[in-house]
Amino acid sequence: MKTNLIGSLFLFLSLILLICCFQIFHESRQLEKKINLINKKIFITQETNQVLLSEYAAHTNPNYISQISNIYLDYEQNNKERILIYSKNTFINKINSLNSFIPVVSKNDKKRISFTQDN
C-alpha cells in the first residue's frame, strides 16, 4: 500500500513536471517568435535608414544639386539648343565638329566610315 502511494505520488509529480516543461517550452517559443519579428523590423529599419542616408548625402552634395537644377530649371533653354533627333548629315557634321574618332557603319552603305581629326 505504501509503495502504491509513493508510486502514484511520483507519477503525479512527474506529470506536473512534464506539464510545466511543456508550458515553459511553449512560452519560450512564443518569446522567440516575438524576438525574431523584432529583429526583422530592426533589420528593415536599418536598411531603410541606409537608403535615406544615401539619399540625404546625394541631396546635400552641391554637384548633385547643381546637376538636378540644370536638368529641371534650365530644361527649356537646353531643349531649344539641343536637337534630339539628328538626320544622317547632321549627325556626321556633329561628329566632325566634336573631332571624335568614331567608326560609323551605315545600313545603306556597306563601307565603314571613320571620322578623324584633321590637322
| 47 and 95, same domain (yes or no) | no
User: What pLDDT band is residue 119 in, cutting at 50, 70 and 90?
Assistant: very low
Task: Indicate if the pLDDT at residue 60 is higher than 80.
Answer: no
| Highest mean pLDDT (candidates 55-59, 85-89, 113-117) | 55-59
Q: What is the mean pLDDT of residues 1-28?
A: 93
Full residue range of the structural domain in which residue 109 is found: 85-119
Q: Which pLDDT score, from 0 to 100, does residue 117 have?
A: 46
Residue at grid coordinates 523590423: 41
Distant-in-sequence, close-in-space partners of 101: CB < 8 Å, separation ≥ 6: 114, 115, 116, 117
| 9 and 67, same domain (yes or no) | yes
| 43 and 57, same domain (yes or no) | yes
pTM above 0.75, yes or no: no
- If one counts the domains in the chain, the total is 2
| 76 and 89, same domain (yes or no) | no
| 3 state DSSP class of 73 | helix
| 68 and 102, same domain (yes or no) | no
Judge contact between 113 and 103, C-beta under 8 A.
yes
| 3 state DSSP class of 116 | coil
| 37 and 71, same domain (yes or no) | yes
- Percentage of the chain lying above the pLDDT 90 cut: 31
